[in-house]
Amino acid sequence: MRLTAENAMTSLAENSGRTSSELFKHGSLVLRICKPDKVDLQTPHSRDEAYLVISGSGFFMNSGTRRPFQAGEFLFAAAGAEHRFEEFTDDFATWVIFYGPDGGEAAGA
C-alpha cells in the first residue's frame, strides 16, 4: 500500500462537501485525510488519534492546552480528549490515524 498527499487530496475532493475521507483500514488502524474548511467541528473520539500535518499551520487545542503547529509535525490526542484545530491557514491538511481499542490504550504501555 502506498499513498501520497496528492492521492489523498484527490480522494477527499471526490467526496464533495466532506472535510475528511477514509483512505485505508487494517485491523484497528484507520488512516484518513482531513482538510477542515475555516472551522474544525470535530468532537472527542473513542479511540486514540495521531495527526501528521501535511501542510499549513495554526493552533492545536488538546485537553485545554493550545499550542502552535506547522507542516511536518506529529500531534496526538488521547481517546476521549477534547481537541480541535484553530486559526489554521487555508492550505491546512493532515493525515489522521485512529488506532487501538475504544477507550484508548493504557498510558506508557
pLDDT tens across 57-78, in order?
A: 999 999 999 999 999 999 999 9
| CA angle 93–33–25, rounded 5-degree value | 160
Stretch 8-34: mean pLDDT = 90
Does residue 107 form part of some domain?
A: no
Phi, psi (deg, nearest 5) at residue 72: 95, -10
Q: Is residue 93 part of a domain?
A: yes
In-domain check, residue 65: yes
27: amino acid identity, one letter? G
Residue at 106 is within a domain: no
What are the cell numbers at 96? 489522521
Is residue 95 a part of any domain in this protein?
A: yes
| First-residue to last-residue Cα distance in the chain | 28
Phi, psi values for residue 12, rounded to 5°? -65, -40
The pTM of the full predicted model, rounded to 2 decimals, is 0.91
Residue 48 maps to a domain: yes
Domain span holding position 75 = 5-99
98, 30 Cβ separation under 8 angstroms: yes
- The answer to whether residues 93 and 57 touch, using CB atoms and an 8 Å cutoff, is no
Number of domain units in the chain: 1
